Amino acid sequence: MSCTSLKSSSVRKSQLILFERLRALAIIIILFHHLPAHSVDFYQVSFLGVHYNLHWLNHLNRYLALSLFTFMSGYLLEYNYPVIENRVQIWNFLIKRYLRVYPLYILAMLTYFKIFPQFININPCTVLTNCLGLQMILARENCMAVMTLWFIGLMLTYYVIFVLMKLLVSGTKSLIIFIGSLVAGIISAKILFGIGDKRLLMYLPIFLSGAYSCKWKILEKMSARWVVFLSIFLILFIWLYFRYSYPKIYLSGAKPQLFSLVSAQAFVLVDVIMLCFAYWTVALFKNFESKKFHKITYFISYASYSVYLVHRPIWWLMAKAYDSPKKILMLAYMMGLGIPLVIFVGYCVQLTYDRYIFIPLSRKLFH
């Protein structure tokens, strides 16, 4: 084996470990973001006479976790599919990606329709668009994306955008035209026809940053100095967001128009925060490696997709089975049993699906 091959193999292994840690961190943040809705609100507590209100942190958690998932998706797609230029490659890519994601997604969607009808406006349009993974493109009033699972629909849409990018972008100029046309199309659809979900646009810069970080090998250039540099920017933009945007949108009770200055300001700040956090976390994990907890990190990382799908239904069942009026008992029950249980069940679901469906079907279709 040549030195180049050894180096390439070493870099590949290092990147796999890096993304395992990122994926594990992202799903843990998601679990702690959603847990208060199924147990007690531990972001607002009184301890020794001091009142703590950390709702701002929980508000931020959703963006931080999903920014990691979105960034990793863009990066790994570019890494695994650097070239897509003909019909066979297009269909192979889409079939393989949908086979990886869609079957478990549709099972989760049907489960949500069954046990969370109070949170979902169930009608033919909602069922059809969400089951087909088109909710981010076709969402409109009375036909909205289903909570939590909307993010899977977002990723399915980004798969198509990734293919279009591969086919249409050949340089900097065509990239600018492509992104400009895409953004203009999303905004025009919302203004003219009232369709589309703003999150399709919100997470797009994160997805594209992931893809081009791989293409331009940005991660390989990240030194420990990036951690300090990005920490400063991350703190600054979080302060700006909670100082100027968050109070006007979430605390005032007002509902600014989608394309108002207040909304645009919040939109930009959230995007910058997500970008800074994604790069900061990558730089931190890349430059300060540790082999501690590698097995449990791999376990959580491997299970992360299924954990994302099953955690809310499992916690709903747990709350039905035991609902203590004592907050400390309920919190201990959901944290001590609920979090390990969803990770274990998610791992078993993912392992079963991969072993008996995804891998056998992939071998038949692509070998």
pTM of the predicted protein model: 0.93
Burial 291-319 (b: 16+ CB within 10 A, else e): eeeeeebbbbbbbbbbbbbbbbbbbbebb
Confidence of residue 14 (pLDDT cuts 50, 70, 90): confident
- pLDDT grade for 5, boundaries at 50, 70 and 90: very low
Are 115 and 313 a contacting pair, CB within 8 Å? yes
The widest CA-to-CA distance across the chain, in whole angstroms, is 66
DSSP 40: -
- Rounded-to-integer distance, Cα 102 and Cα 176, Å: 31
What residue segments make up the domains of the chain, in order of their start?
24-53+294-367
Confidence of residue 258 (pLDDT cuts 50, 70, 90): low
**The pLDDT value given to residue 2:** 41
Write down the number of H helices and E strands in the chain.
16, 2
Across the range 62-66, mean pLDDT stands at 96
3-class secondary structure, 290: coil
Q: Residues 61, 33: contact at Cβ < 8 Å?
A: yes
Q: What is the pLDDT of residues 84-98, one digit of tens each?
A: 999 999 999 999 999
C-beta atoms surrounding 173 within 10 Å = 9
AA identity, residue 337: L
Q: Is 81 left (phi over 0), alpha (psi -120 to 50) or beta?
A: beta
Which region, left, alpha or beta, applies to residue 140 given φ > 0 means left and ψ of -120 to 50 means alpha?
Answer: beta
SS3 52: strand
Of residues 45 and 48, which shows the higher confidence score? 45
* DSSP three-state, residue 207: helix
**pLDDT digits 0-9 by tens, 126-141:** 999 999 999 999 999 8
Q: How far does Cα 185 stand from its chain's mean position?
A: 23
Tokens representing 122? 């169930």
**Phi (first) and psi of residue 53, to 5 degrees:** -120, 100
Average pLDDT over residues 309-320: 96
- Average pLDDT value for residue range 170-189: 95
